[in-house]
Structure 1
Amino acid sequence: MDLGIAGRTALITGASSGIGMATARVFAAEGARVVLTYRTGERRARELAEELGAGSDLACAVPYDLGDPSSVDAAVRAAENRWGGVDILVANAVRRGPRLPPGTHVEDVPAQQWQPLLRDNLEQTMRTVQLVLPGMRARKWGRVALLSSHRTRDGAPGQEFYAAGKAALHGFARSLAWDAGPDGVFVNLVSPGLTRTSGVLVDLPAEVRERELRRTPSGRLSTPEDVAAALAFLCAEANGNINGAVVDVSGGR
């Protein structure tokens, strides 16, 4: 099936590992030009850009830091200067914040710790969307996919502020679908369940993984490639009228 993204320019934030890296590979395989952003994984991002066609002007890697608004603007400008604009935005970059010690309650978390978490995950993601929208509207075509989290639905101790920032994106996307839809721009969210990224495999205790598997009807955790496949369809011409939706990639959780 030809998804219809060949020749499009896709900006994928947080593309140096995990879901972002898998998404970049899928988009490149479908013929899209890919702008890969990174914060700390510069070497991996540049190696991935080489793999996906940097030498043929089909991929590039640029810095992007949710904590630095100027880098957000610069990443979008880099795509516009190189290829004339962004047709597809996959907003995958995330700031998770430090793990809270056991027994910590929400009222114990100081403002200087939770405010940046909300500001970066919410405000800078919305800012990135604002920057790419004018070009999409002018071309009468665009796709925006925001990465959410199963924490917005299930919750978890210590995840209150992270989940709040992700949940706010749901309201943003749903309302933006009304605003941008008439101009041919579709805005959707993908909400992964627990996903087999390197961070999850290293940091998550084995008993937690086993518990999650027992609660998952499909009997397995999602892979980054599972999430990337959903993103590729939502961001393609093949998506004829899915707009303002939340798509769970969680094996039926």
Structure 2
Amino acid sequence: MDLGLAGKVVFVTGGSRGIGRATAVAFAREGARVAFSYHSDKEEAGVTAAAIGAEALAVRFDLADPESMGSAVAAVRERWGGIDVFVANAVRWPDSLPDPGRRFEDVPRQEWRDLLRPNVEGAIAGLQAVLPAMRGRPDGRIVLVSSDVARHRGPGTPGLGIYGSSKAALAGLANGLIAELGGDILVNIVTPGFTVTERNLAAMPQRLRDERAAHTPTGRLSTPEDVARAIVFLGSPANGNITGEVLNVTGGV
């Protein structure tokens, strides 16, 4: 199936590893010109750029510094003139694994701010910076990357609640955007479940991964490439009239 991405300009935030890297590479394989952002790891950014090829453009972006998104978008526009597809994948992770023994009311307010502000305000800053570069171009597409933690009702864990709240906010952002943008720029959300990224592999022992896979209807955990394929479809002209939807890539959990 021709996704119609040849020559399109794609900007993926958080593209130095994991789902972001897989997404950037997948777009490039469809013939798109791909820019991606990284936070601080230039070495990992170089790995992504090498996988994309000569057309790759790596730009720095810090979710806690909205000004950096303006600079990143300006670099993409200087290189290619505009942006057709924006994938908001960059994320601020919790500093440590959640403590299931801690009560909700014992979580410091600063801990909430430290995660909510970059994840929610960073997404807003990214959208505000990128939309002027997208308006007026055909086949505009925005894909917001959320998390199954935003909707999964598992054991109450305060740390996950903060992260889940920051990801749940993307649904409100999308609802406001689809009303304004209509058919000019389609906006959708992809919600990965537990995905076997480098970060998750390091955080979860094999025994727990096996348990989780055993309770997944497909019998396996998602890979970054599984999630990337969903993002690429929704971000392509092959998606002709899907907007305001949430696509779960969870193996049926």
Q: Where on the TM-score scale, by shorter chain, does this alignment land: which range?
A: over 0.9
CA distance in 2, matches of 1:40, 1:106: 32
2:3–2:237 Cα contact (<8 Å) kept: yes
Deviation at 1:218, TM superposition (A): 0.3
Check if 1:162 corresponds to 2:166: no
Please name the residue that 1:84 is paired with.
Answer: 81
Deviation at 1:41, TM superposition (A): 2.0
Deviation at 1:177, TM superposition (A): 1.1
Deviation string 1:234-253 (CA, Å, 9 cap, x unpaired) is: 00010011100000001111
CA distance in 1, matches of 2:50, 2:150: 36
Deviation at 1:79, TM superposition (A): 0.6
Please name the residue that 1:250 is paired with.
Answer: 250
Check if 1:71 corresponds to 2:68: yes
Deviation at 1:175, TM superposition (A): 2.5
- SS of alignment partner, residue 154 of structure 1: coil
CA distance in 1, matches of 2:51, 2:212: 34
Cα gap change, 1:14 to 1:161, in 2 (>3 Å) = same
Matching residue within 86, 92, 102 for 1:104: 102
The residue type equivalent to 2:129 in the other structure is L
- SS of alignment partner, residue 138 of structure 1: coil
Deviation at 1:171, TM superposition (A): 1.6
Please name the residue that 2:26 is paired with.
Answer: 26
Deviation at 1:15, TM superposition (A): 0.6
The residue type equivalent to 1:41 in the other structure is D
- SS of alignment partner, residue 202 of structure 1: helix
Cα gap change, 1:60 to 1:211, in 2 (>3 Å) = same
Check if 1:174 corresponds to 2:167: no
Please name the residue that 2:91 is paired with.
Answer: 94
Cα gap change, 1:51 to 1:213, in 2 (>3 Å) = closer
Deviation string 1:157-201 (CA, Å, 9 cap, x unpaired) is: 12111101100111211221121123x200000000110111111
CA distance in 2, matches of 1:151, 1:107: 20
CA distance in 1, matches of 2:211, 2:40: 32
Identity %: 48
Please name the residue that 1:132 is paired with.
Answer: 130
CA distance in 2, matches of 1:249, 1:163: 16
CA distance in 1, matches of 2:56, 2:143: 19
Aligned residues: 249
- SS of alignment partner, residue 150 of structure 2: helix
CA distance in 2, matches of 1:48, 1:202: 20
Deviation at 1:204, TM superposition (A): 0.8
CA distance in 2, matches of 1:106, 1:76: 38
The residue type equivalent to 1:130 in the other structure is Q
Please name the residue that 2:119 is paired with.
Answer: 121
Check if 1:148 corresponds to 2:146: yes
Deviation at 1:46, TM superposition (A): 2.2
Structure 1 length normalisation: TM-score?
Answer: 0.94
CA distance in 1, matches of 2:128, 2:240: 23
Gaps of 5+ in 2: none
CA distance in 1, matches of 2:153, 2:93: 14
Please name the residue that 1:202 is paired with.
Answer: 202
Gaps of 5+ in 1: none
Check if 1:223 corresponds to 2:223: yes
The residue type equivalent to 1:68 in the other structure is D
Please name the residue that 1:49 is paired with.
Answer: 49
The residue type equivalent to 2:67 in the other structure is S
1:155–1:163 Cα contact (<8 Å) kept: no
**Displacement over 6 Å in runs of 4+:** none
- SS of alignment partner, residue 233 of structure 1: helix
Q: Which moved more, 1:35-44 or 1:143-152?
A: 35-44
CA distance in 2, matches of 1:112, 1:19: 28
1:118–1:164 Cα contact (<8 Å) kept: yes
Deviation string 1:186-228 (CA, Å, 9 cap, x unpaired) is: 0000000110111111111333222311221100000000000
